[in-house]
Structure 1
Amino acid sequence: MGPVAWVLLAALGSHISRTVSEAVVCFSDFNEQTGGCSDYLGDGVSEEDCCLNIMYSFKREAHSRCEACRAAEWSQWSAWGPCTVSCLEGVQKRERVCTGQGDCDGDSVEVQACSVKDCCPKEGSWSSWSPWSPCSVTCEKGTTQRTRQCNNPAPICGGICPGSSIETVSCDTRQICPTHGQWGSWGPWGECSSSCIVEGSGVFPPQTRKRECNNPAPSVSPPGRSCGSESHQSKDCTVLPFCPVPGGWGAWKPESECSVTCGIGRIKEKRFCDNPAPKYGGRYCEGPVTRNTMCNTKVGCPTDGHWSSWQPWSPCTRLQDVINCSQKVGTQSRKRVCEEGRFEGNWCESNHKESRNCYNVEGCRLQGKWSEWSAWGLCLPPCGKSERTRKRECEPIYPDYPDHMLNQLGKLVDVFFSGTPNVHCDPINKETLKVEEKRECRNVIAC
């Protein structure tokens, strides 16, 4: 921690008096997908101080799990994982993480059926080998080869034929080829015998390079011609650097005020590579030029309120009148609550209450019609013996009442059916309200 941060903490002495057991490691960000802490701020602060900003996170020990400051909530579902089989039908799963303080309702794992390929690979068989090809050279030894096709029968669904489609063997022409020598390329210049000199000495070491008569080398029997001429070259190293002086870091010095006005922030410090400064190509100081140290404002960060979910609609009524099972229009309303505003954050925008016009069909006997089959549901439970379900439901056929009307201000508004009617559909398998179909999930992950 830098000098400025110590001054701030000393001025707020109550923090320093806290025991080590109350301290946490504080971070300014929380990854909802992985449940991990990021953007380290520092340690030695209390959980209460770190969570003055509810978007922060903390660890109780350096290697313990990350905890978010805000209330518990589910992360987004992960992408669906790979199918448990590469062909035919299997299952795949996805997961989510409960983050924050408290518990989340619901499951952390979902499993659904999947199929990568409708068939499984099947191997094929090879055809007969072709005749051997002519030898690849006209003197000395070469190679000859033969081939075969994977078509007897051909593989299906991505299968293969085991083994190779080509077979190669050596062949001998029993003829000798003479080879004359040729120079290879010059090799790189060798290093100078010394990498640096003392200023003013005037001593320049030599450097050499060579080449080989191997492009190709001359044959012995029958004999080939040699390369001749020179195989080595030498020259002086005319330019060498002075011996380098590595640099060293000076002391850290503060460069900024605390980065935030609420919660936990940072103070920036800087240092210079001047103790000593590097010379003659000497190594520059390794490590960062600046660093951030933690500072504590002891001030909570404002958090704006947010709306809760709407409460259920109230019963559809009209003052001093019975409107149940009739074309008479009533009204109903519902409410919601502004939650979790902190430290003088802004109040929720928009309205906390809304109303609408309605027909009351609570308990009214209505003819119904069967819905189409729903999509197949998730595999439950997500491991072991598991099955999925789809269903059809008896849906009401509402009366042909007008779906809009003019209100007292002369504005056209919608009218909704409200309540749970007594619906009747023609029986399917002796069921009049709901029918279900179940199917076993295959290749489910073991528990």
Structure 2
Amino acid sequence: MNLVCLVMVVLGIYVQQSVSQTVDCFDEYYPSNGNCGDLLGAVALEDCCMNPNYGYIEAGGVCKSCSRATWSEWSPWSKCTVSCKDGVRQRRRMCYGIGSCSDPEELGMIQTEPCMEKECCPVNGGWSEWGSWQPCSVTCEIGIKKRQRTCSNPLPQCGGSCKGRAEETAECNTEVVCPTHGGWSSWGNWGPCQETCVNEGHEAPKEFRKRTCTNPPPSLVPRGRNCEGSDRDGRFCTGIPFCSIDGNWGPWLKSTPCTVTCGVGRESQVRNCDSPEPKHGGKNCDGDAIKYLVCTVPKNCPIDGTWSEWGPWKECKPPSKRTITCITREGTRRRERVCHGKEFEGNICEGEILEHGNCYDINGCKMDAVMSEWSKWSYCKPNCGSNSNRTRERVCTANISAYRVQDINFFSGHPHINCKDLKKETETSECKNLPEC
């Protein structure tokens, strides 16, 4: 034992070689529902995730994505929590991939907003009195009679209804005897065929069955009609096979190349049921005609770059030597974004790294103060339980009415405005009928 190993043993230090974690590797990951699809097989986690489009499942776990952390699209809005009056609806997103998702705007994983399916709730009506009985449904023996009522006392409102039946039936007896007409019994079983297989090109034998006029038999007084048609039926036997030859597998053929050029894929082998092939109803070969094998190309798959969010706008500059500060003459400005995450010969981001736009320079300008328009309503917070609210606000801002463009985001810099008499205003609205926490 060398000196280093001896020191490590004395100090109680044990060095264990890392063991690769084995996972079930899938060549599809679906961000919409977080599911994996198309199992490739059990491989090492690092091999599976050489392809960022793949997904994997650890022992007893859920599907995970091999990509870097990314937000899914927002789900469709759910149904309103109540069918009438004030409720809420929700939509969700999930963070999938390796790592954590950034959320600079603090949008979270769930959003809640008010909704209303109907402005009023259903009110049930009341039944009228029953109408008169209608005539009996038959002219002899026993039939039925009906009577009806309407949902009109009072009328229902807002899609309401009346509980109970609008029609009532009762038995009625005409005290007149009806003739009984004959009816066929069910057909009996088909008789047996003589042969178990038939020579190709020959006519199949026939089979026969019978029935009787006993369901019911015709009455004598008053006289009922006999059954119409024949009591005997015949047909050619079906399902009698030609004398059969069972199939048998030929040898496995050469494997196909691996389906990928990087990471984990699959290769396949096929065999044919032709030694001999089944004929005249003979049994097909048992088992699979194709088998799949996991193959690994020890190379990381390309990862394309993705754009960061746009950075802040730079200083608004004049297009020439003429000044633009504090006047309605437009300048230009730019902002940048970064293409990050490109690895292993992946593609660079599509689009421009720079964006240019027009602007007004109001930095340091003395401007009148006005109240802004009301902002959009926020989403309801919290997302469940009671005491949930949404808010909107308007604030003191610079008066830009003299400018051609009225969007405050078009303006650059920090003006001097006197907001002494204009205070921030906030409105709050209650969100009702949220789901329980």
Label 1:168 to 1:368 Cα distance change in 2 as closer, same or farther (>3 A): same
Equivalent residue for 1:440?
A: 430
* 1:95 aligned partner, one-letter code: R
Query: Is the 1:72–1:100 Cα contact (8 Å) retained in structure 2?
Result: yes
Equivalent residue for 1:88?
A: 85
Equivalent residue for 1:34?
A: 33
Q: What does 1:211-230 correspond to in 2, within 5 Å?
A: 211-213=211-213, 217-219=217-219, 222=222, 224=224, 226-227=226-227
Equivalent residue for 1:51?
A: 49
Gaps of 5+ in 2: 1-16
Q: What does 1:179-328 correspond to in 2, within 5 Å?
A: 179-181=180-182, 183=184, 187=187, 190=190, 192-193=192-193, 196-197=196-197, 207-213=207-213, 217-219=217-219, 222=222, 224=224, 226-227=226-227, 231-232=231-232, 240-274=240-274, 277-285=277-285, 288-316=288-316, 326-327=326-327
Label 1:399 to 1:162 Cα distance change in 2 as closer, same or farther (>3 A): closer
State the TM-score, normalized to the length of structure 2: 0.80
- RMSD across aligned C-alpha pairs, in angstroms? 3.7
Which gives a bigger RCO, structure 1 or 2 (Cα 8 Å, sep 6+)? Answer: 1
User: Structure 1 residue 183: deviation in Å?
Assistant: 4.9
C-alpha offsets along residues 66-85 of structure 1, whole Å, 9 cap, x if unaligned? 22122111100111111111
Equivalent residue for 2:395?
A: 393
Equivalent residue for 1:67?
A: 64
Distance 2:166 2:96 in 1: 56
Give SS of 1:253's match.
coil
Give SS of 1:254's match.
coil
Distance 2:61 2:42 in 1: 13
* 2:125 aligned partner, one-letter code: G
* 2:111 aligned partner, one-letter code: E
C-alpha offsets along residues 286-326 of structure 1, whole Å, 9 cap, x if unaligned? 665334322111122223333322322344579xx9x8964
Equivalent residue for 1:371?
A: 372
**Identity in percent:** 43
Distance 1:229 1:335 in 2: 90
Distance 2:300 2:367 in 1: 57
Q: Which moved more, 1:190-199 or 1:205-214?
A: 190-199
User: Structure 1 residue 99: deviation in Å?
Assistant: 0.3
Query: Is the 2:326–2:365 Cα contact (8 Å) retained in structure 1?
Result: no
Equivalent residue for 2:10?
A: none
Q: Which moved more, 1:93-102 or 1:106-115?
A: 106-115
Equivalent residue for 1:13?
A: none
* 2:66 aligned partner, one-letter code: C
Equivalent residue for 2:414?
A: 420
Distance 2:357 2:48 in 1: 45
User: Structure 1 residue 171: deviation in Å?
Assistant: 1.1
